[in-house]
Structure 1
Amino acid sequence: AKNFGIPLPDEAIKNAEFYKPVENSEEITYLKARREALGGQIPERKNSCAKLSPPPLTSFASLTNGSGTRTQSTTMSLVRILSILLRDKSLNKYIVPIVPDEARTFGLEALFKIAGIFSLQGQRYTPVDADTLVEYREAEDGQILQEGICETGALASFLAAGTAYSIHNLPMIPFYFFYSIFGFQRVGDMIWTCGDMLCRGFLIGGTAGRTTLNGEGIQHQDGHSQVVANTYPNLKSYDPAFAYELVVIVREGIRRMYELQENIFYYITAYNENYVMPALPGKNNIHNEILAGAYLLASTKSQKNSQLHLLGSGSIMQQVLEAQERMEAMGYQVSIWSITSYNELYREAEQCERENRLHPLKKARVPYVKKLFDKTSGVYVAVSDYMKALPNSIATWMPEHYTVLGTDGYGLSESRPELRDFFEINPDYICHAALVGLFRNGSINRKELQQQLATLDIDAEKTDPTLR
């Protein structure tokens, strides 16, 4: 203290006491002036950022009108949504596509010509694909951020872009595409930082699903990111099956984050399995139902008359639809429910439980998921490419005879049919679960159960997937 000229008595120095300059000293005056210049004693986030609105629904007609006979994946549907946003005059300069590596894996090469890959030095070489229609293109004014094989770097870019609304008054809209298993599992702490710093944007878990990303085994097959996503309080997570669901979710995300300026961000899982995309249903309130987490997709006759209710999401919806055909061929009436977000259903139901507990004398608030199935009866089977814990999260509010099929266990390097048989989520196992449910609720007898189970390719003695 004496060496630095700090005016402390010898006894205070021996006791290692702190020194506080007097109130009108040069040091205190300087510190207070700096704190005032920084906005005062209490930190305050000031937001004077311009508001942005999503493009009209008509801009996405190529996706909401269905794909006809052409097949496509939800990953490619998202790339097409991004392409439309990059061409939108009011939004294009704010869109920030981010990928850590393998842009072509996610179909992002379609954006090379539109946006280009950002490089401070531009492109100083001729790429090996220079003679193709979608050649690799780097540019000083490129918009795509390709960070190499570095999830931490890509997440840092997402965080920088997603908080630019507060720091630089720029409403940047980042879309970070990555292998879904390499998100929460690898950089979960950085995603938590995004939530803590009120980051905005879209995290896209591409090549999602334990059985949909086939042939890559334990390292890549994700069956739990949606489960982990529910632990992030201001993260909205969705697992859509169809292109029109993606359009509704992305438009709402832009509206809430950049028009209403809400401090939330989104996680959307997308798959690389191709199938026909249907058109957006014309029924009333379909947009709100998609965003709430579930809606009735189809019924043999009506939901009221259905004996079976099959719940599907993501690419596994195709397995559910095939099971529906088989059960209808057996003479049963079936309703199909598209579950866009088990996490949204769970959170809203828990909010209702909390409100009812704190206000016991008021009329009880009924959770959306409970109202959804209020006028139905029969057997309910939920099927997911994620762990059973995900659809089981809403079990408290579902009717009885609710069965869950999921992908608990490690992945395998096999084909999709083999994987779905291994994890017991293919049409045979879906029909099996439905028939067992019908037997248990008394709708069919022992003989009918045995006869109908005999038509299914089921190995009842196979090893539990979680033990292999």
Structure 2
Amino acid sequence: MTVNDQDPYSVNNTDQDPEETAEWQESLDALVADKGHQRGREIMLSLLKRSKDLHLGVPMVPTTDYINTIAPENEPAFPGDEELERQYRRWIRWNAAITVHRAQRPGIAVGGHISTYASSASLYEVGHNWFFRGQDHPSGGDQIFYQGHASPGMYARAFLEGRLTEQHLDGFRQEKSRAPYGLSSYPHPRLMPEFWQFPTVSMGLGPINAIWQAQNNKYLTNRGIIDRSDSRVWAFLGDGEMDEVESRGALQWAANEKLDNLTFVINCNLQRLDGPVRGNGKIIQELESFFRGAGWNVIKVIWGREWDDLLARDNGALVKLMNETPDGDYQTYKAEDGAYVRENFFARDPEALKLVEGYTDEQIWNLKRGGHDYRKVYAAFKAAVEHEGQPTVILAKTIKGYGLGKSFEGRNATHQMKKLTLDNLKQFRDELRIPITDAQLEENPYLPPYYHPGEDDPAIQYLQER
């Protein structure tokens, strides 16, 4: 027998009992004919899982359907006040964007990135509110590797917390000229030792160093030097960043070391510095296959709660559409409107179109991505920290420039856009319900005001408690 003969995919594979095999195939045919493709798929996936338990050596399925890993019925209850958290998240998003915008005023124009944090705000806030532990925790605290281009969001949060002032925010990317109030462009402990713990730029530094940090924590614990058994390492990364050789180079080693104290959160907004990450492909599916092949636990957070009812009523047509649609189309949908999504996504299959026949165009437009849904993100984070024996990667689908308006959301140029027009500012303010007047914005469009409701505001007090 040759090696190829042992390959289960080979046409030359030996069958010891062809008649019995034919009976099993006929059973599957009958099941699909009677109960449909979806039920047939469920049975086959169940059998594949069982074959793994029995160590049969059957090749695994590297990718799953383009839906959430955690089903709605398996989601834990969200423990917090979602409305209060949403309220101050809006303030953080406003101040983060305004920090970058004000840094483009005449005579300064130091650059920055508005759209990255806009896409990942919910990911960070679920972590800050419910999972990250500070250095005063008995475990020694968690180590967080923040995505470099999202730094304005961390500064904006620190402003609401009272750790930074408006002077600091106006010193973004101006460490020397506005010392001692300057803020570094990206996370950098040498430049801001009291603020940042790890450098994460250039791209690729975060993931590989997070792996070494997680391994070091295991080493210290296993040798009785320092007990870091309850400490977790989190790395927030971009989907485009995952093309860096440092981003993928040590994944197998992390799995071999069973670094279950490590979680990667990849912000899959489908865009890199200069355009789509995989316009004609599907980066989430690619990363799922890559990480699963390397031995990681994979959790996908693709669709928000608004999709739950549609998927519950689906007979397989909607999931088929989701599986077949390339990233470039998904990006285009979020640069258009609900009517466009109806005609160019749902209408590609009559059964899928029936699912939304009672939906308005606005309801279709409000079908959110999973990375913007607190409940979905919380469920994924909780599953990650409870998983044992493997590192975990969370693949969260988001929209680059989320909430910044039509000029930003899903646009190929959004990563390079540094400032907002007066109309952009007004639309963004309205979207986030920021109590700033037209007159305040029109007074000097280069310097729109930051927003802080005051220390006594219930949402600020809630933030401080968390």
TM-score of the pair, normalised by structure 1: 0.36
Structure 1 or 2: larger helix share?
Answer: 2
- Which is higher, the Rg of structure 1 or of structure 2? 1
TM-score of the pair, normalised by structure 2: 0.36
Structure 1 or 2: larger strand share?
Answer: 1
